[in-house]
Amino acid sequence: MERSSNRNAPDLETLGIVTTPWGGAGKKWILPPRDLGRWRHLGWLAFVPGLILLPFVYNIFRFFQGFGLQIFGNPKGNGPAGLVDWIPLIFVIPIGLVFLGILWQVLKVVSIGVGVLSQSTRTEIELDEKGLVCREVVGWKKFRRQVKDRETLRSLAVVTGEEWAKLRRRVSSEGGATVVPLPEHLRYMLIAKRSDADMFVVSFAYSADILGALAQDMEQLLRLAPATIREKGLVSIAPISEGGEDDDDEAWSSLEAGTLPTKPEDSKVSLEKREDGLTIQIPSQGLLKGSKGLFFFAILWTVFSTFMTVIFALAMTGAIPGKVDGSPFIAVLVMSFFELIGIVMLVASIHMGTRTSTIATSYGMLFISTTSIFGKKTRQWEREGISRIEIAPSGMSVNDRAVMQLAVVEKGEKTFGCLTQLNDAEIEWIAYELNQSLELLPPPIATPPVL
């Protein structure tokens, strides 16, 4: 059941939305603080670790500060020996600045925890002639995202988390979305469809009333068609076409449509089809490509943390003379922990870059065999026990981008993931071929989230 929204827009002020002129003909909306209820206790996950880490990082910074001031204030001479005394400053100053930056980031984490605990979270939206800027305010920390060209915005919609997951193609047509169950006043998101069929999150974790009123106000500045409000709580705003108003269902139907995935031209993966099934060979992708850049990052991390551990150890044993602020012993313990993290990342990247895999189907059976530095492992499933095969986030990210994996989802929703060394296009193609071979429903084409 639908009804047209050719009525007066809801009173934004009554809903707690503050509006101000912005950028000439633009506008700024400040949404009310979220009523998180018991979900505010998630702030402890940021507040407590940040508070624990704060004195350690501060201690390390104070060590470098004291070390640098000692060298700067007590040079032994102007000859060659004096020059040698100044050389450590080349390392001490930038490293001290790095830890000053880390200290600032830790303070931000603590602030985020305080902001969530005190329910001081809200969305600020700025729309001007150029583009759309959205900021999530948590305490005094602001997370910014934007659409640089407002002309690319085609339609808006208020959806639930479940509907958003389906639009993002995270579930198949036979499966349900896996989302965190939130109370009614936090279930909804305002999203914008762009001309490139991508979607942009304008705001989230608010009630349908607040986001619906915001959407109806924004559509006037975006010159979109009046909103259509469904009784089920979905607000969809469709753009005006030359021939009149497009149907809002058609405006969003293109999001569900996708082209059949094919093998990328530069892929090293080989596929052999047989009468009883198929065999897919995935060779090692190399340390850089296979680890998605993690190998290079792990090298830098390990070298840096090892160098710092040696410096602190020399200071602790007295090999570096002089009295400095802070405790070198605590610094050695902290840096040893960071060095251990670097070693773990290095081993993981080597595992990702050197492993090989073989995937085969035969008479309704699925076999996945992986060979790596940890040995060879083989898994098998019967077709009746598989719900779907799809591309899904692996839970790991590199350079703030989610690393995707091939996910075999069993009937009980237990998931087995693999092939994180491949790119997204290769995983989509392999998932499609396996679904076709096993006569499962083809998976939707997924787009990795932007972090």
Q: In this structure, is residue 384 part of a structural domain?
A: yes
Q: Are residues 143 and 225 in the same domain?
A: yes
β-bridge partners, 402: 397
Which of 89, 117, 145 marks a domain boundary?
A: 117
* Average pLDDT, integer, range 435-446: 68
Q: Are residues 240 and 333 in the same domain?
A: no
| Percentage of residues in the chain having pLDDT higher than 90 | 11
Mind listing the pLDDT tens digit for each residue in 353-394?
888 999 999 998 999 998 988 888 999 999 889 988 888 887
Distance CA 83, CA 70 (A): 15
pLDDT band at 272 (very low <50, low <70, confident <90, very high): very high
Which of 117, 143, 175 marks a domain boundary?
A: 117
Q: Are residues 157 and 215 in the same domain?
A: yes
21-35, 196-210, 305-319, 323-337: which range is least confident on average?
A: 323-337
Q: In this structure, is residue 175 part of a structural domain?
A: yes
Which of 331, 351, 371 marks a domain boundary?
A: 351
Mind listing the pLDDT tens digit for each residue in 179-238?
455 666 677 888 888 776 677 889 988 988 899 889 888 887 777 544 433 333 333 333
pLDDT at position 32 is 93
pLDDT band at 352 (very low <50, low <70, confident <90, very high): confident
Q: Are residues 157 and 19 in the same domain?
A: yes
Mind listing the pLDDT tens digit for each residue in 32-44?
999 888 888 888 9
Kindly give, in sequence order, each residue whose CB lies less than 8 Å from that of residue 376, ignoring residues fewer than 6 positions away: 369, 370
Residue 102 clears pLDDT 90, i.e. is over it: no
Q: Are residues 244 and 309 in the same domain?
A: no
Q: What are the phi and psi torsion angles at 196 (to 5°)?
A: -90, 15
pTM recorded for the entire structure: 0.51
Q: In this structure, is residue 221 part of a structural domain?
A: yes
Q: In this structure, is residue 447 part of a structural domain?
A: no
Q: Are residues 133 and 232 in the same domain?
A: yes
Total count of domains within the chain: 4
Nearest alpha-carbon partner for 289 in 190, 121, 426: 426
| Residue 220, Cβ density class (10 Å: 0-12 exposed, 13-18 middle, ≥19 buried) | exposed
Q: In this structure, is residue 450 part of a structural domain?
A: no
* Average pLDDT, integer, range 424-445: 80
Higher pLDDT among residues 170 and 403, named by residue: 403
pLDDT at position 399 is 62
Residues of the domain holding 342: 289-351
- DSSP-assigned letters across all residues of 364-428: TEEEEEEEETTEEEEEEEEGGGEEEEEEEEEEEEETTEEEEEEEEEETTS-EEEE-TTS-HHHHH
Q: In this structure, is residue 444 part of a structural domain?
A: no
Distance CA 57, CA 133 (A): 33
Q: Are residues 126 and 223 in the same domain?
A: yes
| Mean model confidence pLDDT for the chain | 75
pLDDT at position 422 is 86
Residue 244 clears pLDDT 80, i.e. is over it: no
Q: Are residues 211 and 323 in the same domain?
A: no
Q: In this structure, is residue 445 part of a structural domain?
A: no
- Number of CB atoms found within 10 A of residue 149's CB: 12
Q: Are residues 126 and 141 in the same domain?
A: yes
Q: Are residues 128 and 246 in the same domain?
A: yes
Q: Are residues 306 and 278 in the same domain?
A: no
CATH of the domain at 423: 2.30.29
Token representation of residue 404: 């995707």
Q: Are residues 338 and 361 in the same domain?
A: no
pLDDT band at 424 (very low <50, low <70, confident <90, very high): confident
pLDDT at position 398 is 65
Q: In this structure, is residue 446 part of a structural domain?
A: no
For 74-150, where are the alpha helices, taking DSSP H only?
80-86, 89-117
Residue 444 clears pLDDT 90, i.e. is over it: no
pLDDT band at 255 (very low <50, low <70, confident <90, very high): very low
